[in-house]
Structure 1
Amino acid sequence: MTDLRVGIVGVGVMGADHAERVARRTAGARLVAVADPDIARAEALAKSLDVRVVEDPLDLIAADDVDAVILASPGFAHAEQLLVCLEHRKPVLCEKPLTMDAASSLQVVEAEHKVGRPLIQVGFMRRFDPEYAALKELLDSGELGRPLMLHNVHRNKSAPVTFRSEMIVRDSMVHEVDIARWLLGDEITRITVHAPKPSDLVGAGVLDPQLALFELANGTMADAEVFVNFQVGYEVRCEAVAERGSATIGLGSGVLTRAAGRWGGAMPSDFRVRFERAYDIEVQRWVEAAARGAIDGPSAWDGYAAVAVCEAGIESLTSGRPVDVDLADRRKILG
């Protein structure tokens, strides 16, 4: 079988990580081109991986020798780039967010539906993490009875000073939004986002940490603490509470030491360390699915639903009140 020829748009932290992954660790794929507004950065990466640089991302998407695309560009560029991927019938793995607002995300969903087959997979990599996958399997098995609640903790060591309050919802909490929908098996219909007195270690006007409550259509609930300037390290935990028990992931599986009057273990420095295996599995499965004309993961609808919830979450953060999620009727959109 011929390798899937992959082009990557955006080679910042995430895009460069994916470039290394496709070039060195993904079976059945070959990295052929990269594009980034920072030409020097793109050229340096391209040289190290022996691929070419395409100055215009839309030209990369349209290139005859690019079979599939990874979008790791800023969210504001996704709508246009996704529509061009659909125009050229190119499978695309799009890092979150799908787009910057629910209206344009819905337009992307509708455009893909008109193509007649799914081409867009959204980069919610936690679904591919072995611990999350095991938790999903356990809940779906019914062994613990019906799931009732989900508790989430999402902490980063630090965030840039440019990372504002609304970005905590749109770019960080969005992972908890997707996980709640996936693990609990329904849409989020209402979200409430509160913020305590912020940490003194964050920029002026930034509400960090934040605490959210998700209410789902099936009567389940999920909460999420998101703290992007935790100072200690990168920590993601999830506990599912069901009728006959609970299950927790993210407690750390590294070496636990006891010495010099202390006990403990190491904490990852950032998301790439904690979810390295998840990213590897995600990209490998995306490549295999793209080669057979399918997707194998979160869909464009999943990306749209997450954006719609986060849009309501930002409104709730501003108003201090619960906000209903304005979600289109899936049956009317997709049939």
Structure 2
Amino acid sequence: MSDSLGIAVLGAGRMGGDHVRRIDRLVGGAHVAAVADTDPARASAAVAAVRGAGAFTDPVAAMDAPGVGAVLVASPGPDHEAALLAAFERGLPVLCEKPMTPDAEGALRVMAAEERAGRRLLQVGFMRRYDREYLRLKELLDGGGLGRALLLHCVHRNVSSPPGFTSAMMINSSVSHEIDAARWLLGQEITAVTVVRPGVSSGAPEGLQDPQLVVFETDGGAVVDVEVFVNCGFGYQVRCEAVCERGSARIGEDHAVLVTSGTTAAREVPRDYLTRFEDAYDREVRAWVDATRAGTVTGPSAWDGYAMAVAAEAGVRALDEGRRVAVPRAERPRFYDGA
């Protein structure tokens, strides 16, 4: 493995465990060198079938393990900032699952630390940018054949929400992907957020405002609406339709297997994000490994992580206060020009 990129995976939960499997079995040019998790049993289980990988409870110890040349952060969001700062101090390239940080102030600190490091080290894990359908939609919009994009209609549905999931998390966790996808697809920044509260579903846990309709305005004059429904009960659905001056384009309708039995035919609905976006995660990690081995950083930057955080914070305020909230934004550092 002398020329293979050794990766420390921080977090051995569902997402982290899936990345350990992906790096170990699917991604060429890389191997899992260490896994860290606050639960020692979970860390040990994650590396049980991975030759040569060490298990740790301390993320910094995992970064300092022999052979580590890069870090993949899949720990809970509140742990990200400390992990990123430690990785930057060591000059280690990082792929960090969203959110980069839970709040905009933390995102500003991460950007400042990366700039002090003198070069880009961080890619944020907005994997929809690697999904084939989203890439095709981006290509259509950038091509200009449909004219200027006026509206994006988005749907984000989950079977059920995990314990402790809050109304705010529907925006700063679930809708965070739509925030980044909208910015990327349109090439525009979000300037204001309004949240509409429909009647609460009988399937929602007590106290959870589910579903929600989140409406974003952009500096290019487009409007983005997101239906987020995290206890729909039947499957995981992500859809996006761009309505433009001379036509429209929609993705997410046919990402399923058609099952025919007897006299009926039905499409299977994915049960979760790891199923729906499996290929996108594979492509994302492969691209990150290839770029890291070449000494470069591509993909969503810390600036994109900040832009998501500040828009999500405005969205939570809009939900809490029942009004349209403008999105404040720091000036984009020149360090991220072209990122």
The alignment partner of 1:285 has SS state of: helix
| CA pair 257-198 structure 1, distance change in 2 beyond 3 A | same
1:311 to 295, 310, 313: 313
CA drift at 1:194: 1.8
Report the RMSD for the aligned CA atoms in angstroms. Answer: 1.5
Q: 1:266 to 1:117 in 2, by over 3 A?
A: same
Other structure's SS at 1:154 match: strand
User: In the alignment, residue 45 of structure 2 is paired with which amino acid?
Assistant: A
Shift of 1:66: 0.6
1:113 to 112, 115, 119: 115
Q: Deviations over 1:179-217 (max 9, x none)?
A: 000001011011111221211111111001111111011
CA distance in 2, matches of 1:32, 1:39: 16
Identity, % of aligned positions: 49
CA contact (8 A) 1:161 1:202 kept: no
**1:195 is matched with which residue: 194, 197, 209?**
197
Corresponding residue number in structure 2 for 1:132: 134
Matched AA of 2:61 = D
Paired letter, 2:106: S
Listed as ranges, the matches of 1:227-246 within 5 Å are 227-246=229-248
Partner residue of 2:185?
183
For residue 18 of structure 2, what is the amino acid of its counterpart?
A: D
Tell me, yes or no, if the aligned pair for 2:100 and 2:124 is still in contact at 8 Å.
Answer: yes
Equivalent residue, structure 2, for 1:79: 81
Shift of 1:256: 3.2
Aligned to 1:169: 171
Q: CA deviation at 1:333?
A: 6.9
Equivalent residues in 2 for 1:247-266, closer than 5 Å: 247-257=249-259, 262-266=264-268
Paired residues, number: 335
Structure 2 equivalent of residue 20 of structure 1: 21
Residue ranges of structure 1 left out of the alignment (5+ in a row)? none
Shift of 1:331: 4.2
In structure 2, C-alpha distance between the alignment counterparts of 1:236 and 1:159, rounded to whole Å? 15
Deviations along 1:136-166, one digit per CA (max 9) or x if unpaired, are: 0111011111111111000001112311111
Where 1:330 maps in the other structure, the secondary structure is coil
8 Å Cα contact 1:110/1:333 also seen in 2: no
- What is the aligned partner in structure 2 of residue 46 from structure 1? 47
Q: So what's the TM-score if we normalise by structure 2?
A: 0.95
- Asked if 1:300 corresponds to 2:302, the answer is yes
Residue deviations 1:241-263 (CA, integer Å, cap 9, x gap): 11110000000244435655644
CA distance in 1, matches of 2:197, 2:335: 35
Q: For 1:62 and 1:302, how far apart are their aligned partners in 2?
A: 28
TM-score by length of 1: 0.96
In structure 2, the gaps of 5 or more residues are none
> CA 1:308/1:333 → structure 2, altered by over 3 Å: closer, same or farther?
farther
CA distance in 1, matches of 2:57, 2:142: 46
In 1: Cα distance, 2:166 partner to 2:196 partner: 15
Alpha-carbon distance in structure 2 between the residues aligned to 1:237 and 1:6: 33
3-state SS of 2:214 partner: strand
Q: Which amino acid aligns with 1:137?
A: E
Equivalent pair of 2:303/2:336 in contact (CA under 8 Å): no
Asked if 1 retains the 8 angstrom alpha-carbon contact of 2:6 and 2:67, the reply is yes
Change (3 A) 1:263 1:213: same
